[in-house]
Structure 1
């Protein structure tokens, strides 16, 4: 048990009105996790069934919105040709590289600003100004700097990922309960021990929230990057399909983006449960 967990257990927080209406662990465990997962997929499944029925009934034009069955056939055809898996792999590598670079930069800057008011005064204003610039406005300048190769695409992904992680890391550090820090001083923890055992664990929920936002932003940035001068990737596949009015392929790429987003969010939730098992809102009872 870390000092953060010990400190959290020794501080008695006042009961709020939310405590009186919060369901207890027994009530939450009355529904199995498998049933909850099945329930979460009910609405998307119904939507697909309605979509298929409308398309088969002629209410949706194939040129406007093809049936899911047609999109599925396009997926099998592209997969058998090797095109789909190749483009998917390229996009995943770009997203992973950009996420790693941008995540590391955002986390480092967040720690620096979170612990230092001087650092906040020096760099936070500039970071917020850059964050407010849309991707499309930066794209021409990035192309001039880096061309239309892999560096441009990874750079845009890294840029988009940096800000959510930076903001949430800074916020998480600033929101650590001062009473816990005071208790750490009383227990004789050094500055490094205080950071490692109390401050960073206390900031972790906010950091992981930033990771979830950054995962979504990474794909948004990648879509923008792959629409310009790309020769591979899901964005290139969609743009190439647009030239030939292949709406089934365009819809397929959109569905793949959605499925990747769901998978990334599931990974982020798994990390929350693993890294925040000590937290009452992220433990096994969740």
Structure 2
């Protein structure tokens, strides 16, 4: 009897080292995931690109006449910051993007919900929007100038139009792509149309909607670059256009770098929003 007990207990004793290794590797993997998911880790590759840019410029591989090195761009930033023109340009551009983003997101959500939930709205609204989204931005600039003049309205509306389509398309796709089994399960527990929309369909479409919002933020900055070419007298686009007149390569590059940094910051903010709203899903 004693020998049998010993034989049965031996395998569990031998399994302990493997279990220990598994738990240790799991803790190590968890630490690596926490380090890799930090917001600052996303700055590594841009900093590497910046260092390579400076090295290639200092060795003459990239001529300064073609692309100003980071040191010159930083000097131009200090110059513009000292006289206040960079702060003013940033404030104007951020205001345009903020208003255009709010307008575009509002319209995209309203249209997306209508098209996603109602067949009649799908037939009436979606075809014109699909036609409009294929029209290039540059082709709309002359019409926007004729319709709205050369003030702030065409610039804001260009941003809003650019924001509209990615969010609208992803929201509609998310609503229509919700698993039918979840909808049936909701109906089985007595949820009505409104209850299904609130507790099943809208939460189920949230991942694609947030992806569309990330794309919309990127397009917002691209739209701003185009919009600020419409007889602008302020903003980052105005700084770039004015620098082109005086052949200030460093200021031109500075404006583009600022656009890129603003895009990276806005994308990081949305990724943080995803991690909070989609706790049930692993966000990479």
Matches within 5 A, 1:9-158: 28-35=29-36, 37=38, 39-158=41-160
Alignment CA distance shift 1:25-1:143 (3 Å): farther
Displacement of 1:39 in angstroms is: 4.8
1:123-153 alpha-carbon deviations (Å, 9 max, x no partner): 1110000000000001100100001110010
Q: Per-residue displacement from partner, 1:11-47 (whole Å, max 9, x unpaired)?
A: xxxxxxxxxxxxx986752415345555543332222
- SS at 2:32 equivalent: coil
Give 1:199's match in structure 2, choosing from 198, 201, 205.
201
| TM-score, normalised relative to structure 1 | 0.86
> Among 215, 221, 235, which residue is 2:237 paired with?
235
Structure 1 counterpart of 2:282? 281
Structure 2 contact 155–230 (Cα < 8 Å) conserved: no
Cα distance in 1 for partners of 2:37, 2:188 equals 44
Aligned residues: 259
TM-score calculated relative to the size of structure 2: 0.87
User: Map of 1:154-169 to 2, 5 A cutoff?
Assistant: 154-169=156-171
Distance 1:189 1:35, change over 3 A: closer
C-alpha separation between the residues in 2 aligned to 1:89 and 1:136? 25
In 2: Cα distance, 1:85 partner to 1:28 partner: 43
SS of residue in 2 equivalent to 1:31: helix
1:233-266, CA deviations, whole angstroms, 9 ceiling, x for partnerless residues? 1111100000000000000011101110110000
Structure 2 counterparts to residues 168-187 of structure 1, below 5 A: 168-187=170-189
Partner deviation per Cα, 1:82-129 (whole Å, 9 max, x = no partner):
100110111011001001001110111111111112211111110000
Indicate the structure with greater helix content. Answer: 2
Q: Does 1:264 align with 2:261?
A: no
Q: Structure 1, residues 202-246: CA drift from partner, whole Å, max 9, x if none?
A: 011111000000001111111101012000011111000000000
Runs of 5+ in structure 1 lacking a partner? 1-23
